[in-house]
Amino acid sequence: MSQVSRRTVLGATAGTLAGLAVAGSSALGAGLARATSSDSHRPPSTGLRPFDEVYRGRRIKGTPTTDDGGHHDPHAGHEGHSGHGGHAGHGGQAHDFGYRVTVDGEELHVMRNADGTWISVVNHYETYPEPRALARAAVVELQGAALVPLALA
Amino acid sequence: MTVRKNQAHLTRAEKRRFVDALLELKSSGRYDEFVDVHNGFIMGDTDHGERVGHRSPSFLPWHRRFLIDFERRLQEVDPSVALPYWDWTVDRTPTASLWAADFLGGTGRVGDGKVMDGAFAETSGSWSITIRVDQRPFLRRALGAGRRELPTRAEVDAVLAMPVYDAPPWNSASSGFRNNLEGWRGADLHNRVHVWVGGQMTTGVSPNDPVFWLHHAFVDKLWADWQARHPRSSYLPVERTRNVVALNDTMRPWNDVTPADMLDHTPYYTYDA
């Protein structure tokens, strides 16, 4: 396949889960249902400011998805009704950590750690103090390559 | 009986059969299913939400079961094959035999990180990266290009000396053996090895690099070594805990296996040492 969209990944994951789960599809359904029921609260405010810059030829942007008033960013909010657990993402982050990062317009899947540091799906095993450093690290790692879109319908 | 051996001690024939089995799983499409499952959990496991495969107590039993599944798939191709392990405290340079062309191939070239030798190089035509987070379809590495060295034996021993398996809040902020082995705190063992290898190994689709299995087989062995050193310590938490897999809870995606089922590896395989 030339691109792996979120939907493609979801389909392949479901197939694999069915293959791996000895108990079969009913157990799979129960597992996914459980995954979607947890953690459905509003993302915490990170207190971080937005950024928008060109770094090594790539446009990196960071945007808070919540503010002190608790209003959702229309592009990143409403994650609570479904899609938690990482297997059923829908047009954005599987989890909203209060901040959204893009590289040349494609969303970089990011995650906030309990100590406030950040990781991304590109640099998953090394923590960064804040999202701009994380985005810059992703640019270095990508060496000019485009991210696979996570948010395709 | 499956015996998992140190990769440095494999014969030429054992390496060949292991590599051939990997290539067969890849061509059948079954290999990529494992990459996909891993990435799903990487993106789904969070410190304050449900967490199963990573940053949680079940990091070790989850990966034990994941490797058992993978090893069984390999053995369907070639029953003589077992997962080897990579002791990165000993074989700690890019010149180790692990990275030779007759086994996993070496580091990536300057510029794009592309691996240029061995069976998993793009030029072999047998190892395209299809489950990926960016558009590059070739295996990449940057062995040792980062700032930090691989963990030392002394660093491993200091973590093995920790008597408590895991602790609240049962995530990347925890004290205890599991989180220090996983690497979110302390000297950083498991995570740092992913970073040292570079390329896909630093990403959520890290099983795209076959060294993933050898790295995790050693992490799994360190769990067994820890159990031997602390026979009175056990998996925690035992009591039901929100968002966390307790001792007798089932783990996704299998839903029929608990951490308790995974504490003893010897029904499945043994180690050479």
* Mean pLDDT per 10-residue interval, chain B, length 273 residues: 97 98 98 97 95 98 98 98 98 98 98 97 97 96 93 98 98 98 97 98 97 98 98 97 98 98 98 95
Q: What confidence score (pLDDT) does residue A45 get?
A: 78
pLDDT interval class at A67 (50, 70, 90): low
DSSP state of B271: E
**Three-state DSSP state, B87:** coil
Q: What confidence score (pLDDT) does residue A41 get?
A: 54
Q: Is A114's CB within 8 Å of B40's CB?
A: no
d(CA A63, CA B190): 31
Q: Is B109 exposed, middle or buried (0-12, 13-18, 19+ CB in 10 A)?
A: middle
In chain B, the residue whose alpha carbon lies closest to the alpha carbon of A10 is B40
Q: Is A22's CB within 8 Å of B254's CB?
A: yes
Q: What confidence score (pLDDT) does residue A15 get?
A: 41
CA distance A75 to chain B (A): 19
d(CA B52, CA A13): 16
- pLDDT tops 70 at residue A36: no
Q: How many contacts, defined by CB atoms under 8 Å, are there between A and B? A: 147
Q: What confidence score (pLDDT) does residue A150 get?
A: 72
In chain A, the residue whose alpha carbon lies closest to the alpha carbon of B244 is A38
As a residue count, chain B comes to 273
- The model's pTM is 0.86
From residue B88, give the alpha-carbon distance in Å to each of A135, B20, B81, B194, B209.
29, 23, 21, 11, 16
Query: Looking at the partner chain, which of B48, B111, B204 has a beta carbon nearest the beta carbon of A121?
Result: B204
For the CA atoms of chain B, what is the radius of gyration? 18
Cα–Cα nearest to B45, from A123, A13, A113 = A113
CA B199 from chain centre, in angstroms, equals 15
**Phi (first) and psi of residue A79, to 5 degrees:** -85, -10
**Three-state DSSP state, B178:** helix
Parallel/antiparallel/unpaired status of strands A110-112 and A118-120: antiparallel
Q: What confidence score (pLDDT) does residue A73 get?
A: 41
- pLDDT tops 60 at residue A72: no
DSSP string, chain A: -----HHHHHHHHHHHHHHH-TT-HHHHHHHHHHHHHS--SPPPP--PPPEEEEETTEEEEEEES--TT-PPPTTT---TTS-TTSSS--SS-SS--SEEEEETTEEEPEEE-TTS-EEESSS-SS-BSSHHHHHHHHHHHHTTPPBPPS---
Which are the contacts of A130, defined by CB distance < 8 A and separation ≥ 6? A48, A118
Q: Is B202's CB within 8 Å of A123's CB?
A: yes
Provide ipTM, 2 decimals: 0.94
- pLDDT tops 50 at residue A153: no
pLDDT interval class at A38 (50, 70, 90): very low
Query: Looking at the partner chain, which of B50, B203, B204 has a beta carbon nearest the beta carbon of A35?
Result: B50
Cα–Cα nearest to B47, from B179, B239, B162 = B179
- pLDDT tops 90 at residue A109: yes
CA distance A4 to chain B (A): 7
- pLDDT tops 90 at residue A87: no
